[in-house]
Structure 1
Amino acid sequence: MIKKILIANRGEIACRVIKTAKKMGIATVAVYSDADRDALHVKMADEAVHIGPPPANQSYIVVDKILDAIRSSGADAVHPGYGFLSERADFAEALAKEGVAFIGPPPKAIEAMGDKITSKKIAAEAGVSTVPGYMGLIADADEAVTIAAEIGYPVMIKASAGGGGKGMRIAWNETETREGFQSSKNEAASSFGDDRIFIEKFVTQPRHIEIQVLADSHGNAIYLGERECSIQRRNQKVIEEAPSPFLDADTRKAMGEQAVALAQAVGYASAGTVEFIVDGDRNFYFLEMNTRLQVEHPVTELITGVDLVEEMIRVAAGEPLRMRQEDVRLNGWAIESRLYAEDPYRSFLPSIGRLTRYRPPAEGTAADGTVVRNDTGVFEGGEISMFYDPMIAKLCTWGVDRAAAISAMGAALDRFEVEGIGHNLPFLSAVMEHPRFRSGAITTAFIAEEYPDGFAGVELDADNLKRLVAIAAACNLLSEIRATEISGAMANHRRVVGSNWVIGAAGQEFPVSVTREGDDYRVADAEGQAHLVRLNGWKPGAPLIEAEVEGTALAVKLERTIQGYRMRMRGADVMLTCLTPRQAEAARLMPEKVPADTSKMLLCPMPGLIVSIAVEEGQTVEAGQTLATVEAMKMENVLKAERKGVVKTIAAKAGDSLAVDELIMEFE
């Protein structure tokens, strides 16, 4: 058996591998860049080796540095995680020359399946259904336009060596093909060191469903059901679930058998994923095979009980699979929400900084039988760097059926506390509550169709808004009473806390009368309707409250403001004011503050690197014209003019690192 594993990766996947290795009694070695010196995976491993500066192309994807770390640590196996070197055949070959086991498939399988052009040809030969497209190399944008016209719009422009949404663009016309071709090449070169591009037909109304396969070096191969990954943004998966709410048993079997046939056709050994696009009639087409552990593997583990990392390690050690196809059972339902360091209120732009608060929900099995699992690579006080993927954590829930798993996820997201950076927790909560998602009628266009103008938060229904008002009234009374007790004012009869308050929320005023009844609070509205509120031990200053309003349990994140509270729940972010009737009367007379006019400025929408400036001072630009390109967290973002105008000044140049809202250029 393997004795010491070096994890050639970072973040949550490195931590994930370390957990299973420790369970198996195998020693672990972490590698780290300057930016990751204090990272969680470094702390968790038995030992750690420094490999260079923060940029991945100077550290994590430099094969010689990883080999040096292997030699110095004496590791006899390497797990590559996902991304970085996980699908590099030359890395697997280099390990073989060193006599070190690669915890992944053979180099030939990586080479065949890692190249998306070659993989589609092999898939077709193996009898796997494939998407129409052009699998040859494309020289330039002109050729890309010609090919796209022949296939027929819309088309998908993809990096041959790509994955994780990097180097992918959908083009609906010639202009988008030209722009997408160059951006895809740039991202592919930056992320994978390989800028080859291919084009295929984009299937409309598609669902992204993938099959998990597991194979050994003795010719055995099985599939472990499917995962649906249709909730995507910019081709990056956001929410995954297993099984799919769309597949029937016959389609699942057909897809699984084709996935196994493909794995066997290339002599595959290890865990791998065969991705398909499925249309509304359950016709499925091969997209690609990921010759590595997928980000979303936990949902498969939760419904099958199989530790995929452990199986990968055993296969790498030469062991045969410990199960046959007939042994595979799909039990219950699992959902994964990817928590990203990106601001959903600012078009999901990346966010960096310090995690001033990071408190995930408790893991384990709840009283109702649901399960919570959180795979993460960060900790409170840690930094989210601009150099790597913006993922913070993968929150997973399991339930006996889809409804139970969704409800458990909604509750877990409400209890997940993250402060200090922008993050997509509100958006994830909103999706869990969305009627279309709950119905299972989803496609890869779900986010674009349901949030065409971006995410602006959730507007609570009247009942939940009234519950927050009642909680705010109770919290306010408790805080006021506590303040007087601490100051001694109540004891000296200098101040009495009144029972009448005006709670402001969502542009409305709610006059209430609130009284304390033991550990509970009775909040009556203007019509005399009373709500019994239980704060369950909450103390002023605590950022999370597990409250009950008339028996309805609510987990609410809250923070004190000057005049009340900011409360967040189920994707909603509500500012509530708690004023006396006299204060409320005066507040109505206060003028509203007008924000500064930035309509003539192009501000950097995220912390990032200026890749290029496409205009000059004095130049007239048209609406939709490219102004600049910014790179952040391995993704290129093209900034375009919103209207016609003349460039007055340019304050930044290519190569500059800018903070969010820093000036790039100004218009006359």
Structure 2
Amino acid sequence: MFKKILIANRGEIACRVIKTARRMGIATVAVYSDADRDALHVEMADEAVHIGPAPAAESYLIAEKIIAACKETGAEAVHPGYGFLSERASFCEALEAEGITFIGPKPKAIRAMGDKIESKKFANAANVSTVPGFLGIIEDVAHAERIAGEIGYPVMIKASAGGGGKGMRIAWSEAEVRDGFDRARSEAKSSFGDDRVFIEKYIVDPRHIEIQVLADAHGTALYLGERECSIQRRNQKVVEEAPSPFLDEATRRAMGEQSVALAKAVDYQSAGTVEFIVDRDRNFYFLEMNTRLQVEHPVTELVTGIDLVEQMIRVAAGEKLALAQADIKLNGWAVESRLYAEDPYRNFLPSIGRLTRYRPPAEGSNGAAVVRNDTGVYEGAEISMYYDPMVAKLCTWAPTRLQAIDAMSDALDGFVVDGIEHNVPFLAALMRHPRWREGRLSTGFIAEEYPDGFAPMEPDAEQAAILARIALSAHLVDAERRAHHLDRLRPGSVQRKDWAVKIGDAYHTLATGDAVVSDWRPGDAVWHGTVAGVDVTAQLRPFPNGMRIDWQGLSVRSRVFTPRLAELDALMPVKLPPDTSKMLLCPMPGLVVSIAVSEGQEVKAGETLAVVEAMKMENVLRAERDLTVGSIHAKPGESLAVDAVIMEFA
């Protein structure tokens, strides 16, 4: 077994690998860029080596720097995590040439399966069912339009070396092919250094279901069940679960056996994932094989009890798998939510900044459920514009699917993150969504259920009653504290019995201590308790004369009044927000890639105004109506803050 390994990655996956290596008694080496000098993975590792500037192309993507770090520290093997160099055969070969072990598959398998175009050709030759498409090199936009027309709309444009939803576009018309082809190539070049794309038929209402495989160098290959990854936004997975609520045992076995056959055909060694799309009739089509550890691997670990990182290390060290297919049992249900630094109320645009408060829910058993949080940040850490916006992967396990979902809902309600915008409100709302809870999923779920984006929600009558009681409970506790400090001879003297609690714009009349039990104290970010016998976890944040309450995706402002003050408050004028309808504001901190218009130009609704890049994703800003461009305040290459004015309209 190895004595020391280097993790050629950063963030939560580097921390995840370090945890297993530490448990196995293996020393670890972290690498870091300028932006990650104070990162959690650097602190956790036994040693750390600086490898360059913040941009990944100048640090984490340079194989020579990783090899030099191995030589400097005496690391015998490299775990690549996912992304970066994890699926580059040339990196694997360079390590082997230096006598360093790559903790992953051999170059042959990486080449055969790591490239999406070549993997589809290989799968076709092996009689694996694949989606209809064109697997050759697409020369230009005209060629792309011709291919899309022959396949039939809608089509999917995908980066050959892609992953994580980058370099991927759905096109429903020639116009969308023209725009999508250029955007996909640009993103592919930026993210992977390879601008090749291919086109395939887009299956309407598909499910994205993948099979986890594990194989050693001694001829054993296994499948460890499936993961349902259909909840996606912009082709980026958001929520995953294991097993799938859709598959029956026969389909699961067929997909698993086909995945194992494909792995054996390329002499696969290590953990890997075979991805499929599955239609309404449970017909499944091979998409690609990811020759690395997947982001969503924890849900498989939770339902199988198998540490995939440990197995990868043991296989790389030449050990035989100590498992047989009959040993693989799926126990209970697991759900993973990806917590991203993004603003769900601004179409999920990236957010950067410092985590002024970061308090994840406690890990471990919680009644019948288990909570796990894979993260690479800490309170005070900075979310950088240079890397993927993932903050954490929150996972829950329980005996049944609904129990796992309810545990996730409760854990999200108690996940405190301040200093950046984040998608916890969306994830929390999703856990309560009837269609999600029923398992009626497709990759179009988010687009279908939130066609206009995720907007702030209003509480229904039942939710408002619970929120009002929480607000009053917190107010009374704070009033007790104030009374104690103002008059130490009469602590706890809150005499009033009737109150008016304002939730949003509505007033609720309540009595003191109305059916609420909690040990919350002023200053606590999380409120735990029962309201009319119902267990509730919410977050409280004070503001002048009131409290903001976040619960189940709701975010409401509350104020507690005497009945007379409530009457007067209702007469107060409402302050209106400033009019920005004649401005194009930068929706997130980012880099201006291009300005597509000029001053005085008349623009039609839907036409591109500018492109802004943030966290490796290009965001196209389009005109919402017909307009005339007035003045332009930004230029390509300029870094802008959120809400910076890009241009004004006449």
* Normalised TM-score (structure 1): 0.96
Q: State how far apart, in whole Å, the 2-side matches of 1:277 and 1:492 are.
A: 64
Q: Hey, what does 1:442 align to over in structure 2?
A: 441
Q: What residue identity is the alignment partner of 1:347?
A: N
The alpha-carbon deviation at position 582 of structure 1 amounts to 2.4
The residue matched to 1:258 in structure 2 has which SS? helix
The alpha-carbon deviation at position 407 of structure 1 amounts to 1.1
Superposed CA offset, 1:216-271 (max 9, x none): 11121110000000000000000000000000011001100111111111111000
Q: Hey, what does 2:597 align to over in structure 1?
A: 615
Q: Hey, what does 1:638 align to over in structure 2?
A: 620
Q: State how far apart, in whole Å, the 2-side matches of 1:320 and 1:126 are.
A: 26
The alpha-carbon deviation at position 491 of structure 1 amounts to 4.4
Q: State how far apart, in whole Å, the 1-side matches of 2:530 and 2:274 are.
A: 45
Q: Is the 8 A contact 2:503 2:556 kept in 1?
A: yes
The alpha-carbon deviation at position 452 of structure 1 amounts to 0.6
Q: Hey, what does 1:518 align to over in structure 2?
A: none
Q: What residue identity is the alignment partner of 1:533?
A: V
The alpha-carbon deviation at position 591 of structure 1 amounts to 1.1
Q: What residue identity is the alignment partner of 1:410?
A: S
The residue matched to 1:129 in structure 2 has which SS? coil
Q: Hey, what does 1:534 align to over in structure 2?
A: 517
Q: Is the 8 A contact 2:484 2:491 kept in 1?
A: no
Q: State how far apart, in whole Å, the 2-side matches of 1:484 and 1:332 are.
A: 50
The alpha-carbon deviation at position 457 of structure 1 amounts to 3.2
The alpha-carbon deviation at position 490 of structure 1 amounts to 7.1
Q: 2:501 aligned to 484, 500, 503, which one?
A: 503
Range 281-290 or range 397-406, more displaced: 397-406
Q: State how far apart, in whole Å, the 2-side matches of 1:263 and 1:478 are.
A: 61
Q: 2:588 aligned to 606, 609, 612, which one?
A: 606
Q: Is the 8 A contact 1:105 1:269 kept in 2?
A: yes
The alpha-carbon deviation at position 486 of structure 1 amounts to 0.8
The residue matched to 2:139 in structure 1 has which SS? coil
Q: Hey, what does 2:476 align to over in structure 1?
A: 477
Q: What residue identity is the alignment partner of 2:583?
A: M
Q: State how far apart, in whole Å, the 1-side matches of 2:568 and 2:328 are.
A: 67
Q: State how far apart, in whole Å, the 2-side matches of 1:497 and 1:238 are.
A: 49
The residue matched to 2:502 in structure 1 has which SS? strand
Superposed CA offset, 1:163-205 (max 9, x none): 1111000000111111110111011111111000000000001
Q: State how far apart, in whole Å, the 2-side matches of 1:638 and 1:236 are.
A: 17
Q: Hey, what does 1:403 align to over in structure 2?
A: 402
- Written as runs of structure 1 = structure 2, the 5 A alignment for 1:290-439 is 290-367=290-367, 369-439=368-438
Q: Hey, what does 1:667 align to over in structure 2?
A: 649
The alpha-carbon deviation at position 513 of structure 1 amounts to 2.7
Q: State how far apart, in whole Å, the 1-side matches of 2:185 and 2:532 are.
A: 57
- Written as runs of structure 1 = structure 2, the 5 A alignment for 1:145-294 is 145-294=145-294
Q: State how far apart, in whole Å, the 2-side matches of 1:457 and 1:651 are.
A: 30
Range 261-270 or range 36-45, more displaced: 261-270
Q: Is the 8 A contact 2:476 2:494 kept in 1?
A: no
The residue matched to 1:176 in structure 2 has which SS? helix
Q: Hey, what does 2:5 align to over in structure 1?
A: 5
Q: Hey, what does 1:583 align to over in structure 2?
A: 565
Q: State how far apart, in whole Å, the 2-side matches of 1:648 and 1:178 are.
A: 28
Q: State how far apart, in whole Å, the 1-side matches of 2:137 and 2:229 are.
A: 28
The residue matched to 2:574 in structure 1 has which SS? coil
Superposed CA offset, 1:530-563 (max 9, x none): xx2112x211121111121122111110112222
How many correspondences in the alignment?
A: 650
Q: What residue identity is the alignment partner of 2:645?
A: L
Q: What residue identity is the alignment partner of 1:504?
A: K
CA pair 210-594 structure 1, distance change in 2 beyond 3 A = same
Q: Hey, what does 1:93 align to over in structure 2?
A: 93
Q: State how far apart, in whole Å, the 2-side matches of 1:664 and 1:347 are.
A: 18
The alpha-carbon deviation at position 512 of structure 1 amounts to 2.2
The alpha-carbon deviation at position 576 of structure 1 amounts to 1.1
Q: Is the 8 A contact 2:547 2:559 kept in 1?
A: yes
Q: State how far apart, in whole Å, the 2-side matches of 1:384 and 1:354 are.
A: 6
Superposed CA offset, 1:261-290 (max 9, x none): 111111110000000000000000000000
Q: State how far apart, in whole Å, the 1-side matches of 2:428 and 2:510 are.
A: 29
**Which residues of structure 2 form unaligned runs of 5+?**
none
Q: State how far apart, in whole Å, the 1-side matches of 2:439 and 2:474 are.
A: 38
Q: Is the 8 A contact 1:480 1:497 kept in 2?
A: no
Q: What residue identity is the alignment partner of 2:501?
A: I
Q: State how far apart, in whole Å, the 2-side matches of 1:590 and 1:603 are.
A: 31
The alpha-carbon deviation at position 87 of structure 1 amounts to 0.4
The residue matched to 1:427 in structure 2 has which SS? helix
Q: State how far apart, in whole Å, the 2-side matches of 1:419 and 1:511 are.
A: 32
Q: Is the 8 A contact 1:39 1:377 kept in 2?
A: yes
The residue matched to 1:556 in structure 2 has which SS? strand
Q: State how far apart, in whole Å, the 2-side matches of 1:144 and 1:490 are.
A: 81
The residue matched to 1:599 in structure 2 has which SS? coil
Range 64-73 or range 598-607, more displaced: 64-73
The alpha-carbon deviation at position 492 of structure 1 amounts to 11
Q: State how far apart, in whole Å, the 2-side matches of 1:541 and 1:96 are.
A: 55
Q: State how far apart, in whole Å, the 2-side matches of 1:439 and 1:92 are.
A: 43
The residue matched to 2:469 in structure 1 has which SS? helix
Q: Hey, what does 1:573 align to over in structure 2?
A: 555
Q: What residue identity is the alignment partner of 1:193?
A: G
Q: State how far apart, in whole Å, the 2-side matches of 1:513 and 1:330 are.
A: 49
Instruction: Indicate whether 1:553 and 2:553 are aligned.
Output: no
- Written as runs of structure 1 = structure 2, the 5 A alignment for 1:486-525 is 486-488=485-487, 491=490, 497-514=495-512, 521=513, 523=514
Q: State how far apart, in whole Å, the 2-side matches of 1:221 and 1:262 are.
A: 10
Superposed CA offset, 1:380-408 (max 9, x none): 11100110000000010111111111111
Q: Hey, what does 1:527 align to over in structure 2?
A: none
The residue matched to 1:275 in structure 2 has which SS? strand
The alpha-carbon deviation at position 586 of structure 1 amounts to 1.7
Percent of aligned positions that are identical = 66
Q: Hey, what does 1:517 align to over in structure 2?
A: none
Q: Is the 8 A contact 1:6 1:79 kept in 2?
A: yes
Q: Hey, what does 1:59 align to over in structure 2?
A: 59
Q: Hey, what does 2:81 align to over in structure 1?
A: 81
Q: Is the 8 A contact 1:126 1:261 kept in 2?
A: no
The alpha-carbon deviation at position 497 of structure 1 amounts to 4.9
Q: State how far apart, in whole Å, the 1-side matches of 2:144 and 2:29 are.
A: 44
Q: Is the 8 A contact 1:4 1:77 kept in 2?
A: yes
The residue matched to 1:17 in structure 2 has which SS? helix
The alpha-carbon deviation at position 142 of structure 1 amounts to 1.1
The residue matched to 1:137 in structure 2 has which SS? coil
Q: What residue identity is the alignment partner of 1:262?
A: L
The alpha-carbon deviation at position 327 of structure 1 amounts to 1.2
The alpha-carbon deviation at position 498 of structure 1 amounts to 2.8
Q: Is the 8 A contact 1:557 1:567 kept in 2?
A: yes
Q: State how far apart, in whole Å, the 2-side matches of 1:496 and 1:280 are.
A: 60
Q: Is the 8 A contact 1:127 1:258 kept in 2?
A: no
- Written as runs of structure 1 = structure 2, the 5 A alignment for 1:11-22 is 11-22=11-22
Q: Is the 8 A contact 2:216 2:270 kept in 1?
A: yes
The alpha-carbon deviation at position 564 of structure 1 amounts to 1.9
Q: Is the 8 A contact 1:490 1:496 kept in 2?
A: no
The residue matched to 1:375 in structure 2 has which SS? strand
The alpha-carbon deviation at position 74 of structure 1 amounts to 1.0
Q: State how far apart, in whole Å, the 2-side matches of 1:138 and 1:474 are.
A: 64
Q: Is the 8 A contact 2:480 2:491 kept in 1?
A: no
Q: 1:543 aligned to 502, 525, 528, which one?
A: 525
CA pair 480-492 structure 1, distance change in 2 beyond 3 A = closer
Q: State how far apart, in whole Å, the 1-side matches of 2:640 and 2:529 are.
A: 42
The alpha-carbon deviation at position 471 of structure 1 amounts to 1.7
